[in-house]
Structures are given as structure tokens and as C-alpha cells.
Amino acid sequence: MIANLTEEQRQQVARWLAEGAKLSEVQDRLAKEFGLRLTYMEVRLLVDDLKLQVKDPEPEPDQATAQTAPAGQPGPGTKGVQVTVDELTKPGAVLSGKVTFSDGQKAEWYLDQMGRLGLATEKPGYRPSAADLQEFQQQLDRELTRYGF
């Protein structure tokens, strides 16, 4: 993977990450600026190969919990976002699991072989809050790291 990048491109990826870019932003910039079309998983592996790290974003306060809960903690009466990984991965997925959002709504998630994340909610049309999605992504990233992704 590293061999496909010039030294200039490697340095540019490092600058983007130092500026706080997320993996999806690095993926988009590689495509736009260098014509390199990589999956999310390939970008993640590239960053690992380069021994770089993605900065943890500053959490945005959720309006419902901002004044009643310490930063990073669920509000009163909620359990926060809970992510689990399936012991038996769903067919066609590299990894799969379940998520319960702070309002109690549940969904199944999966990561396919192309590095794409899918989310199927139990309640049709349900959309989790921005804060819940951010927490889900952070927890999922920790789980993926535990599983070597």
C-alpha cells in the first residue's frame, strides 16, 4: 500500500491528519488531489502502514444532554450508545454487530469487504442524533481496532 504513494503524497496525508482530517476526508482528498481511489478500509490500513494516527475529534455537545451530563457521558435516564460485535459475522460482511442508541432505538451494523459501513435500524426511517452517530463511530473505531482493522 505504501509503495503506491510518493513521498510527497505520504507527507500530504500526514499533514491532513495533523490538521484533524477524518479517514473519510483523507479518502476524498486522495481521490480529488491525486486520483487515488481507495476504500475506507484501504485508507485506514494506509494510515496504519504510515504509522500515523487520526486525531480524536472534539465532541459536539448534544442539545438534550449538554447541560445535564458531563462531556462524554450519557444524560440522565439514558445509557448512552452501546456497540457490540457479533460472535458469528453476518454472511457477506467482514465484521458485524449491533448498536443501541441513547434513546433506546436499536440497529444492526456491518462492514463489508470493500470497507463500507452499513446500518439497518429496527424502526423504519429512524435517524440517530448527530451526537449518537459520533459516539457510535468512535466506539466502532475502538472495536475495529480490537479486531485488527
Q: How does residue 3 score in pLDDT terms, banded at 50, 70 and 90?
A: low
Closest CA to 17 of 9, 8, 25: 25
Q: What is the mean pLDDT of residues 93-121?
A: 90
How many angstroms separate the CA atoms of 92 and 118, rounded?
Answer: 12
What 3-state class would DSSP assign to 125? coil
pLDDT, residue 58, reads: 47
Query: Is residue 31 scored above 50 in pLDDT?
Result: yes
Query: Is residue 76 scored above 50 in pLDDT?
Result: no
Tell me the longest C-alpha to C-alpha distance in the chain. Answer: 52
Q: How does residue 10 score in pLDDT terms, banded at 50, 70 and 90?
A: confident
Q: How does residue 84 score in pLDDT terms, banded at 50, 70 and 90?
A: very high
Q: What is the mean pLDDT of residues 123-144?
A: 88
User: Where do the DSSP E strands lie in the chain?
Assistant: 82-85, 93-100, 106-112, 117-121
